[in-house]
Homo-oligomer: A and B are copies of this chain.
């Protein structure tokens, strides 16, 4: 089980797409930094994966929660990292 950290906007960078290409259905995704713009992207609106978005980064950018993507804070971010076997950053 892997937690994938998406750190770039999916509209200008392939990080999210590259990750989704190889992700396992048991894995989770966390959108952070410019990665939270993924909330506006069709790739995330369709996904059946467990997906999170970092609240601080959303609020900073004026984005609001969408669909089934859970908003979490840094405390929960740390917890998620401790609960997964691997944590991989995509940038």
Contacts and interface: CB of A to CB of B under 8 A. Distances in A.
Most buried by B among A11, A12, A13: A12
A14 interface: yes
Interface string A1-23: 00000000001111000100000
Contacts of A13: 12-14
Contacts of A12: 13-14, 18
A11 B15 CA distance: 10
Interface string A39-72: 0000000000000000000000000000000000
6 contacts: A11-B14, A12-B13, A12-B14, A12-B18, A13-B13, A13-B14
